[in-house]
Structures are given as structure tokens and as C-alpha cells.
Chains A and B, each alone.
Chain A
Amino acid sequence: MAENGIGASVPRTEDHRFLTGTGSYTDDSNLPHQTYAAFVRSTHAHATVALDTSAAAAAPGVVAVLTGTDLAGDQVGSLICGWVVTGKDGEPHKAPPHPALAADTVRHVGDAMAIVVAESARAARDAAELVKVDYTPLPAVVSMRDALAEGAPQIHAEAPGNLCYDWEIGDRAATDEAFGRARHVARLDLVNNRLIPNAMEPRAAIGDYNPATGDYTLRLTSQNPHIHRLVLAAFVQIAPEHKLHVIAPDVGGGFGSKIFIYQEETAVLWAAGKIGRPVKWTADRSESFVADAHGRDHETHVELALDEGGRFLGLRVETRANMGAYLSTFASCVPSYLYGTLLQGQYTTEAIYCEVKAVFTNTTPVDALRGAGRPEATYLIERIVDQAAHDMGIDPAELRRRNFIPADAFPYPTKVALEYDSGNYGLALDRALELADYNGFAARRAESEAKGRLRGIGLSAYIEACGIAPSQVVGSLGAGVGLWESGGIRFNPTGNVLVYTGSHSHGQGHETTFAQLVSDYLGVPFENIEVVHGDTEKTPFGMGTYGSRSLAVGGSALVKAMDKIIAKGRKIAAFSLEASEEDIEFSGGDFKVAGTDRSMNIAEVAFSAYVPHNYPLDELEPGLEETGFYDPANFTFPAGTHVCEVEVDPETGTTEIVHWVAVDDFGNVINPMIVEGQVHGGVAHGVGQALLEGCAYDADGQLVTGSFMDYTMPRADDLPDLTVETTCTPCPHNPLGVKGCGEAGAIAAPAAVMNAITHALGTGAIDMPATPQAVWRALNQ
């Protein structure tokens, strides 16, 4: 293994600037003649509104006050949902209009109604408070149960009964038949709690318009700048694609929340065109709470049918999924194709049927958040497996082992439309149990009991579908885009390299990982490689970063580009070394004539390519720059087992996580340190969901958890030291054999925590977040 190559824990290149405060985020940029925007937002969950902007427009420093009426007048298109889910009835989902500024009806607290543009941020905010909004309140529906009830207030005329879709997957008849054969049926009602993403950097945007050229520029916090450009051009129609330049510079965390095309960035860009000056907006944290797409929010009834030996015969799932007030960019696919398709879990369950009702409510829109559908699937599978183990008196680890898809059964076609490519679930489970000292638990429980504490241990044998995604598959399921990725390699004449990726790093460490990959593959020194991302004028069109896809899909695109570089380098070396192309071998950065000591380093090849003084130009093209596009043949399927051990103080209900083991199969690993960091972050996210984070609305649709005073983000002292290991079954269908690691922790963790708590408490009647009060109630009900 090279010092900085594949498999080395290279310290992250990007960390120096992040840790020394010298990163360059959207809010760090300021353009000449820049103005500042503030939004007027609804304080009601549901109302018709009439705006009087005269006082605001006359306030000092105000440049413009623009409303939903102005937006409609300019024919600015609706925000879109990019994935059309078809329901049981064969009808497409209901995607009601979602204007960047609501004109006459507001549908959630925080819905933007006007943008105030002024000479300073303070003037904009002052003036925003002067916009008079005459609200005529309409009845709001906050819970899904209320939204689906007969006679419920209607949020959109286009969505009768507040139903976005009623979708199904699997085989209902076969599942019914399986339940008919069951010796035991385990049942649970589960809530998958709504989460607020809370990236460290709030969303921000600077829109700019050059009247002389008609060019628009949008700097913003985006995980996928090309998608922003495409949607704002083709659908919202603010500017054609070639006249819109989108830059996503350093971005401080996304977790999904910066995938989407939101009201604010759209309005900022449009306003910049209206006034002919740059317009800047940076969300404050209070805005982030109500305006960033939330995550999860499912209510599920699940049943697992087992035979007398504990084998899983059938799984039946009925879910309500909250979409919030509008259908966000990818909201529709989260509780359907990223959820129902994962219900096979790691098991050979013979029949599966799942139906999902997606529901509109007067709450902030819900969309993908770290894991997106897959945490919800793993949570219910792993909870019901534990419930079944408890019911039948079988050890939870043993019950899982009995039902695992065997290591020799891959590729494994699931009952829910996927084909698992590789895996070895028993190996990960066994190693996790060993590291967790599963067999020694009884002694530790006795020690806890002696101190008056309850102790529990919980497993989560999770699976996810990552490396999103084969375009042909997602296209057939309703996606409006392909999900390939691009990668470019540009050698400079001096032999150093610019690496272009259509993916985007907002904390993941692409600048390090991709440089390692290129260094290893092309034999170029690590420090001679620069990774470029986040700018539509620099990088080839790319789909961005989400779904743990950057390395599996984006890295594979780079491999394709590098293969082209090597092929061309071989031609150049053959010419320069006066050998036949077939005799040129490439390794360690050197092109060698086989069987001789004649060779050229790739840097020399690059120099030659840019100084082609004697090239036979009809045979050899100057330059050394190639682009690759990679469309995966399948999803990747990271999987593993996490083990959580907790101690509960029965007097207060406080849960302490005392031990955590993660054994994950991510396929091949480029940088083990970065992977471990991703697991740490993911587990923290999942522990946050399980113990701490519970987004709450009151009956009127006001967000009760609207700040960090009430919304509990995980902190360092909420977590123990984590024991993290990996197993490896390489992905067989991408050239790197990698699977993806960014979401695994968030997918695995909630069930591990909750299974540990239910084990400690002796009751499964507890939902997330298992706050001290919730645990205390569960113990005292």
C-alpha cells in the first residue's frame, strides 16, 4: 500500500482550512453592489393572506419588496418534485403547485410570502417586519391521522383527502398466505420521529445577474449544483442552463437538506434579475428550523409471521408518511422506493407486502435526510425481529442468524424489487457479538442491578441500498433524472493533476479520498493532485452527493476517465519510446516498454502531450485530459451489525449508552480514517434520533421545537467511545469494489438503541426519542 494510496488513513487535506477558519463558504463571499434579502414568512400553519408592502417599500435602504403576486406575474415556475411515484390506482402522485413565494394561501409556519431586498441585512429585516400581512386563518391539519380523516380540512385542491399517493410494493396474496401458515405473528406500532436536519452551516445564497450579458450566477449551499442549475433553468425557468452559473463553494454539512431546490434560493436568484444587483441571503437558525426540509416522520404498523422454528415467513407493513405542506424535490421517493425496497433486510423472509400512504399536513415539507427511507426500513425490521425474539423466547442474535441470507446466496433477488450483490451478514454479526462481549452481558447486567440500574443490549443488523443509482432502474420507477456521475482528469503540462467530480463534498472528505484514488491509480504524487468540485462552469455535468454515492458512482467515473488517460498515455509513450502500443505496460505512474528498461513517467507523457513538437497529428491528438461518465449497474448494499449497550436510571429515566460496536461491510475502503469518521457521525445522528431529537408541533401547527433550547441535538457527551470495525465483501459491479459509508450509522443506530432500551425496560411500548421522560413513563405506566 502506497503511503497516500488506497487503504491509507491520509489526514484530510481540507481540514487545514476548515479548522483554521479559512474555508470559503457562501456567506464569506460578498459581491460589488450587493444587496441583502429577508423573507416575510407565515406565522400561521394555514391561512389565506393579503399583503400590504407599502410601508416596507418606503423604509430606509429598501431596494425592492417582491411578493408571490410579482413572482406569478413573471411566470416563474413552481418548485418541482423530481420523482413521480405511481400509486396503487395507477395514477401519478399529487404534486400541487409550490411557488417560491406563496401568493394567496400559506400552508405551513415559515412558508415564504415576500422577499425584501435592501442595502443592508438589517434594513431588509427591519423592512420585512413592516410588511403587513392580513391573515384569514384556515383550519390546519398537523397529524397524519387528522389529515386523512373524513372531512379533514383540505390543504391542496389537487390532493383530495390530503393524500399524495397510496402506494404498494411486494406480493399481498403471497404475504397473506404466509401469515396463514404462521405459528407466531409479532406485531408493533412504531413512530419514526420527525427530525430537523440542522447542518452546522445554515443555507445561504447569493444571486447575481449581469444585464449586459444576461448571465445569472447563483452561489449557494448545495450538495448538487448541477441539479440546482437544471431545475432552476428547465422547470422554474429563471434562466436557460447556459446562462446560469451555479457555484457551491465550501458547504458546512448537508445530510440531505441541501439537495433540494427551495423557495429562498429561487427567490434570491429571481430577485437579483429583477433589480440587476446581487442579492444575498443567509438563513438564521430560526429560519433553518422552519424552512429546511425535515426528515423521517412515519407511523407504521408492522407484522412479522414466523414458523415454529422462528423462520420469517412473511412481513406486512402499513405506513403513513408525512410529506408536510408541499412535495419537496425528492420527497416522494423516500417513503416508497428508498423504503419499501429495503424491507427484505438481511433476511430470507419469504413474502413481503408494504403499503404506504403519503400525506400532506400543514407542516414544513419532509424530504431525504441521511439515510432517507432506509433508516425507517431498518428501524421497523430490527424492532419487529426483536419483538418476535422476545415473544418466542429465542435469543435475538440467534433469531437473526437463523434467517440471514446465506453468504453463498448472492446475488440475491429480494421480494421487493432489488438484487443484493454481495454480503456476509453472519460474519459481521459474529464479530460484533465478540467485540461487544455479548456472552458476558448477564454479568454486566447483574452489576448494574446491584447499583439500581437497568441494563440492556440491542442489535441492529441493517442493510441499505447506496451508490444511487442505476438510471435505467430509477427511470422505470419514476425518477425524472438519471443517476450516473461524472469525473474528469486534467493533466497540466508540469505533470500535476486537476480532478473534476460532479459529486460534491460538504464534509465527506472528497478532496482527500479522490486524490488518494487518483494517486494510487495513476502513480501521481498525492500532493500533486487537486480535486475540483461544486462549480457548474468547472466540472462536467454531475448529479451531486447524497445516498452514499460519491465514491461508488463518482469514484467509478474517475476510474473511467483514468482508464482513458492511461490509454492515451500508452499511445504517447509508444510514439515517444518508438515501441508498439501493445508493448507498453503501465504501472506505478510509468509507461514501460515490456521487457526493456525504457520507460516514461506519466508526468513526462503529460509534458509531451502539451508540447507536441513532433507529433504525428493525424494519429495523435495533443493534450492529456479525459472525462468519464459512470452509470452503475446496480445499487450497492452496505450492511453490518451494530450493538448498543445501555444503562438506564429507573428513577429518572435517563439512558446512558455504555458501549457501542459497529461492524460494517462497506466493500473496499480507500481511507479507513475517513470511513471511521463517517460511521461516528452516522451513529451520532442515529443516537440523536433514538434518544434526543423529536420535532414537535402543537395542535395549531406551530413548531414547538423551534430552537436548540428545545430541539436536542446530540453532543459529544451523549456518546461513548465507539468500537468500529469493517468486514469486506467487495462490490462486484463497480471497478473500485466500494459500497458507501456515509449513511450507515444513521441507518443502523436507532434500532440498536431502542432494542437495547426495550431489553433493559422489558417492554417494547416505547417510541423514539426515548427521552428520560418517555423512559420513565414506560417504566411507570
Chain B
Amino acid sequence: MYAFNYHRPDTLEAAAAALAAAEDGRVMAGGQTLIPTLKQRLASPSDVVDLATVPGLGGVRREGDAIVVGAMVRHAEVAASAEVRAAIPALASLADGIGDPQVRNCGTIGGSIVNADPAADYPAAVVGLGATVRTDRRTIVGDDFFTGLFETALDEGEIVVSVSFPVPRRAAYVKFPNPASRYAVVGVMVADTASGIRVAVTGAGDSVFRVGAMETALAGNFSADAIRNVAVSQDALNEDIHASAEYRAHLVGVMARRAVAAAAG
């Protein structure tokens, strides 16, 4: 780890100010990606702004037809939340399947979505459930939040405050984990929402994406069979030693069908 200035602000404004003043500042939420990256000397920020003591970023609450999760809420808290389990069990189960117990007890939803790892689980929930992301400056529609490989729509110094998930009629998330890292090789969130059927895929591409053809097919017939013949193009899908693009494309279909079956349950 290289040396850096460490900040532990008491307010969101102070956090934003510390970031603005830093030459190359990084926000730390749960630190489950940042700290390993720092330890391996793969990043050398001038300043790290720790949100641990900033008020107003915690809590899971029901607001009308949505579940609002504070940016600093740990995965384990989402997984165990009675509100989430009652309203969006798919979200609780997704959170319960992230990483290992240590990651789930330290990692946060805000940290996960801001990092925008192409193999992270939460992006599938944000896009698949049609969530909106509230920051210290504005509200960003989930569909617009992830813009590429480790890229989001956030501006420089913008801090995520919470994520609001509309409660779907039914939804399920199924993933195929990387055997080594247990990140998603392919993870699919299928949701039947007030704004229509949504199918969001993480792990397979640079960034989470929706599969329109599946959404259309499911709108008429919400069953696994309805998407059995929907081909997923392997163009632009990720390739690594664990999964070729061809295998990933195949797994998108398998995971989507299993998610539909689970949601239709």
C-alpha cells in the first residue's frame, strides 16, 4: 500500500469538500475492492475519504412502492432485512450470494455500484429492478447509471446516497459463479415490474445490459419456455480462462430461464 491522506468526515458536505480538495481522491465505502487494490499497489490515490462516519447513508426502508437502501448498507444487512425479504426476496437473495461472509458484512451497495465491476451482482438488481440512484446532487435512472467497464454516470466527486428499488410483482436473480472468485460469470435478474418485464445481465459484458428480446417474449408468456429459443449473441461478451464468449452467451440463456422459473415459482 502506498501512503495516502485519510479522511473521516462527519457530513456528506465535508466528504464532498475533502474529495474536491484532493489531488486524486477516492471514496471508501466498505473497502472490499479498494483495500485489496491498495494493498496490491494497484492504485495510489492521494486521498481516501471514508464514508463510515457520514450520517444519513444507512438504513433500509419502505417508501411507498419502493424499497430504499442507503448507500452504506452492507450486503448482509440487505440479505437479512425483513423489509427486503418481504417486498423483494430476489434482492435479499442476491445480496446473500455476494462474495463471502466477510465481504457481505463489510461491502456496501453504494461501493458495489460505484465500482461498476462488470462481474458484480448489484448492477443486475439496479437495472433489472428498474431502480433509481440518488446522489448528493441528483437522481439517476438505473438504466443510465452504468456506462461501461468500471464506468458510471457519476460526475467527479459525486457521492451516492441511496438506491430506490420499486417493488416488482415478481423477480428472481440467478447467477453462475466464477469457480475461483465467485463473482458472476453470468448473473441474470428477471423482474415483472410495473414498467414491464426487465431482464438484466451482469458478468457477461463490459457492463450490465438488458436483453430486449427476452423481455418481449416474456411479456406475452412469463415462462422459461418462452425464452428457450431466444438466442443471445456472443458478440461483445467477455472472454477469459473460465468462460468463452460462446459459453457465456449460452449461460445467459440458462440463467435467464432459471430466473424466470424461480420468479414464476
Contact = CB atoms under 8 A, between A and B. Distances in A.
B250 interface: yes
Contacts of B244: 773
Contacts of A125: 41
Contacts of B241: 694, 696, 704-705, 710
A710 B176 contact: no
Contact of B179 (A651, A696, A704, A771): A771
A25 interface: no
Interface string B162-195: 0000000000000010111101000000000000
Interface of A is mostly: loop
Interface in B27-57: 40-41
Contact of A709 (B1, B181, B243, B254): B181
A549 B217 CA distance: 64
B222 interface: no
B254 A651 contact: yes
Nearest to A285: B40
Contacts of A777: 247
Interface string B221-263: 0000000000000000000111110010011001000000000
A38 to B, nearest CB: 11
Interface residues of B, number: 19
A708 B242 contact: no
Contact of B181 (A651, A704, A708): A708
A712 B179 contact: yes
Given A651-B254, A705-B241, A773-B242, A710 B180 contact: yes
A651 B228 CA distance: 12
Contacts of B179: 692, 712, 771-772
B180 A652 contact: no
Contacts of A126: 2
Contact of B180 (A286, A712, A776): A712
Interface in A674-699: 692, 694, 696
A696 B180 CA distance: 13
Nearest to A771: B179
A711 interface: yes
Contacts of B180: 692, 705, 708-713
A710 B247 contact: no
B179 to A, nearest CB: 5
Nearest to B243: A773
Given A696-B241, A710-B241, A712-B180, A776 B40 contact: no
B254 to A, nearest CB: 5
Contact of B176 (A652, A694, A696, A713): A652
B41 to A, nearest CB: 8
Taking residues whose C-beta sits less than 8 angstroms from the other chain, chain A's interface range is 20 to 34
A703 B41 CA distance: 18
Given A773-B244, A773-B247, A776-B247, A652 B181 contact: no
A763 B168 CA distance: 45
A652 B40 contact: no
A777 B246 CA distance: 10
A710 B183 CA distance: 11
B185 to A, nearest CB: 9
A710 B180 CA distance: 5
Interface string A727-747: 000000000000000000000
Interface centre among B176, B180, B241, B244 (most CB of A within 10 A): B180
Contacts of A704: 241
Interface string A611-654: 00000000000000000000000000000000000000001100
B247 A286 contact: no
A338 B243 CA distance: 35
Interface in A120-137: 122, 125-126
B43 to A, nearest CB: 14
A772 B176 CA distance: 10
Contacts of B242: 710, 771, 773
Contacts of B178: 709
A286 B40 CA distance: 9
A710 B182 CA distance: 10
Nearest to B2: A126
A692 B181 CA distance: 12
A776 B250 contact: yes
Nearest to B1: A122
A711 B241 CA distance: 10
A652 B243 contact: no
A169 B177 CA distance: 45
Contacts of A772: 176, 179
Given A126-B2, A709-B178, A710-B180, 13 more contacts: A125-B41, A692-B179, A704-B241, A705-B241, A709-B181, A710-B181, A710-B240, A710-B242, A773-B243, A773-B244, A773-B247, A776-B247, A777-B247
30 contacts: A125-B41, A286-B40, A651-B254, A652-B251, A652-B254, A692-B180, A696-B241, A704-B241, A705-B241, A708-B180, A708-B181, A709-B178, A709-B180, A709-B181, A709-B183, A710-B180, A710-B181, A710-B240, A710-B242, A711-B180, A712-B179, A712-B180, A713-B180, A772-B176, A773-B242, A773-B243, A773-B244, A776-B247, A776-B250, A777-B247
Interface of A: 122, 125-126, 286, 651-652, 692, 694, 696, 704-705, 708-713, 771-773, 776-777
Closest 7 CB pairs of A and B: A712-B180, A709-B181, A712-B179, A651-B254, A773-B247, A710-B180, A696-B241
Interface of B: 1-2, 40-41, 176, 178-181, 183, 240-244, 247, 250-251, 254
